[in-house]
Structure 1
């Protein structure tokens, strides 16, 4: 049984007339990387705020670690960065983290360990004010990891960073995940979710459009591009296939979508048994980008 870290059930949040989060449900299991994906204003940050006890929900419920702990106790096992990192500018990276340790009652030995994880060990004695935005963000991640949390929550972790900074943060997220920490991140960048997450929840205007694995989102939308000498016969024959969802023609090619996954070889056999011989067969997959646009434009 995978252990459940966070369970969200039919969460709602209204601000006056604005329904920021509508019936959002999500199960977070140990050891995965979850992305909440959606354009700005889709309710990502609000959802994170609710489970971190900084935003009051309107209705619905959520529970941490199977409900065994009260929220404030549970949050001691959660590392989160939801605002811009706040450190003392004239103190070094090491001093800033030691201060966090002091406040939270954590052993100072964790400081070097976490600076190592985020690749800042060689800058540990530099003042915070000399850090680039990407380094500041990495220090914030180190800080959130000091208590060895069961789950790390990141809101738009690469916002405002240059390509190199983005790359470094994503590498760190993968490293932390590979060491067994569960991660939940909110992002409006599809590319980010595709590269670092195993699971995704797509939100738009506070509503769930898709929830499941990243692979599942991609795999679900494969389609075929077919051509035969006798187009009419091809179309008529394919329409009799038990799993057919829709058939359309563009520029002499027949585009076929199936309800379930159909193997190219099986399809070829199905048609040749009915005396339709293909001279062109390509399996096309919608990229996550195309699917995301299709989902959010509906």
Structure 2
């Protein structure tokens, strides 16, 4: 944070007995150099209901000011608008005489809402550690805060198991650890009895004695009298008066009473330091590991991946038995097709159906519990928060890949062959797919009010991709363009052993686009219309970058058998052809011959030739409309003014045709380089013991470890 907020220097005693006109909400003759926060006009509506109307008042440095009024008076909404977590039609707020926009209020103001139980699956110690690390609070201050609010008995408990009173004590401790000059608290004494309230009053007064200013929304006048120096009387969204309790009582005809009036501001220069990223990342990691969703998904994935691996090994062994008798059959045996793709395919199904629930949890639960209202007040940009959550999602994907990783290890222990480039390429493709699903889940969680709604939105994307594949894939025209938007298309290129720079750029752009949309919709204190404008800008920017990514044709064939490339000798000759090659195909896109031609010839030519264009004759065709066309099935090749026609889809016939058009000699085959194939006959039953017994047990132990008490706070608990 680049702005320092200067507390007022010591001066004459603050006049706390000045009667405020109800229409202005500000004390007459109040010294400006004592005013910490000045509110000139706040107006807030919900649909046709006016919640706050022309609210104006001042908060003086070093005081405890109470916002009192009946239920429904607008106290909570006023605090939320002041904190910048809820947008308002107008919100003119000044800090020490300078405008303080809602986007910068988290630098000076921290708000503790009522009814919030943040990070419910986390230990109390982890929540305190997160806040202490973010704001760089020393260990002795953390210990003294724990002792002050009497949290020691529940340090090892989880937040969701706390009583209402201890839940309020935890929230108070978080507020005390936040170093902001002005602390807003909504119903701070709710859940405390008379003795406990007296203790908390002492804690708050001690905090004010350190130079801090407190604004408390209280509906019980007796509690307000015990702690507050001045009061804002709020009713029906209007300020009815501001002053001491005597002033307010005189205005309402009540009897007079005693007041405490002793606190002045201390000289201090305050500045929130730039928060470190590590506490946020640690918190997000424990949010993932501390919940049940990740571990439940892992347990469910064990039999799914294990059985798929067992089936793949069995089928590969049957094919290998025949391959051992024939070198030709052996050369067709590739672990990429026989083992990697089917095994990781099971992991893909789990990521599609189960992973969204894990990814949504990193944001959805914070919205439901109210923890997000605390998080957005911390000195992190919204983009940083989303980036940290996306990093946690990637960690969750790594954990979700443990069954698949263990299958690859078992395959190697069986003596199976793995070619590192094609294996890493396929894993990279699944990583990108998981990243994209995670980004979609974060976007869905940011726009949805509940985790259930976010799950429905995310599954609409993932399962909807399957629907696109099964219903419109292979159809010409607009349907083909729609089918290309399917998320399942992400993995096809990687499963074929290609690393496409354009595809990687496209997936990265899509993931960043959804993350940007989540960033736009994350802050609760921004008007919907502003979020819509930001969303349109994100979509347009992503569309432009995606359009540019589709023009990148560079790709690498990472397969050991080089199935996506011509022989090495042919590759060298074709790469030297500088002239333009125009290929006109007289086939319908749904014709199987077109798919063979694309896979065996056209895709390979596009990878190696520097200047090539491929098109369908007469635009989009269909088999039915071309049944009587004599030219249907022909493929015309035009190179540098020369042309020839072929109906073949085999490179053995097409390559000599191209060499003839280019007037170059056909190269002699390079010696060696033939793919030998890797037959392996084994029985995979032993792997089932691991996937149905050993691995689930390890996962259960991992879940138990994630729920234990941190060592550092065991020591802290003993010391406290």
| TM-score under structure 1 length normalisation | 0.66
Q: Offset at 1:28? A: 0.7
Q: Distance in 1 between matches of 2:246 and 2:209?
A: 18
Cα drift, residue 127 of structure 1: 4.0
Contact 1:9 1:61 in 2 (8 A): yes
Residue 212 in structure 1 maps to residue 181 in structure 2: no
> What residue number does 2:136 align with?
106
SS at match of 2:97: helix
Match of 2:200 in 1: 169
Alpha-carbon distance in 2 for matches of 1:199, 1:84: 25
Task: Classify 1:97/1:60 alpha carbon distance in 2 versus 1 (closer, same or farther; 3 Å).
Answer: closer
Q: Partners of 1:141 and 1:40 in 2: how far apart?
A: 22
Q: Distance in 1 between matches of 2:136 and 2:103?
A: 17
Instruction: Give 1:177 deviation, angstroms.
Output: 2.2
In structure 2, the gaps of 5 or more residues are 1-10, 12-32, 258-720
Alpha-carbon contact 1:218-1:286 (below 8 Å) kept: yes
Flag the 1:90–1:71 CA change in 2: closer, same or farther, 3 A.
Answer: closer
Q: For 2:136 and 2:239, how far apart are their aligned partners in 1? A: 38
- Could you tell me how far 1:134 is from its partner in structure 2? 1.5
Residue matched to 1:39: 70
User: Is residue 226 of structure 2 the alignment partner of residue 195 of structure 1?
Assistant: yes
Please give the alpha-carbon distance, in whole angstroms, between the structure 1 residues aligned to 2:236 and 2:55. 11
**Cα offsets for 1:222-265 (capped at 9, x unmatched):** 8xxxxxxxxxxxxxxxxxxxxxxxxxxxxxxxxxxxxxxxxxxx
Give the CA deviation at 1:50.
0.8
Structure with more strand by fraction: 1
State the match for 2:255 in structure 1.
286
Tell me how far apart the structure 2 counterparts of residues 74 and 199 of structure 1 sit (CA, whole Å). 23
1:24 is displaced (CA, Å) by 1.0
Asked if the contact 1:98/1:108 (under 8 Å) is kept, the reply is no
Match of 2:50 in 1: 19
CA distance in 1, matches of 2:201, 2:112: 15
The structure with the greater share of residues assigned to helix is 2
> Which protein is bigger by CA-based radius of gyration?
2
- Which one of the candidate residues 175, 185, 188 is aligned to 2:216? 185
* Alignment of 1:57 onto 2:88: yes
Contact kept? 2:114, 2:188, Cα under 8 Å: no
The answer to whether the Cα contact below 8 Å between 1:63 and 1:71 also exists between their aligned partners in 2 is no
TM-score (norm 2): 0.29
Take 1:160 and 1:187, find their aligned partners in 2: how far apart are those partners?
Answer: 13
Residues 20 and 173 of structure 1: is their aligned pair in 2 closer, same or farther, counting only changes over 3 Å? same
How has the CA–CA distance of structure 1 residues 76 and 121 changed in structure 2, closer, same or farther, with 3 Å as cutoff? farther
CA contact (8 A) 2:93 2:99 kept: no
- Structure 1: gaps spanning 5 or more residues: 223-284, 289-298
Helix, strand or coil at the partner of 1:148: coil
Aligned to 1:157, the other structure's residue is in SS state coil
Please tell me the root mean square deviation across aligned C-alpha atoms, in Å: 2.7
After superposing the two structures, state which structure 1 stretch, 38-47 or 141-150, moved more: 141-150
1:30–1:181: 8 Å Cα contact kept in structure 2? yes
SS, match of residue 130 in structure 2: helix
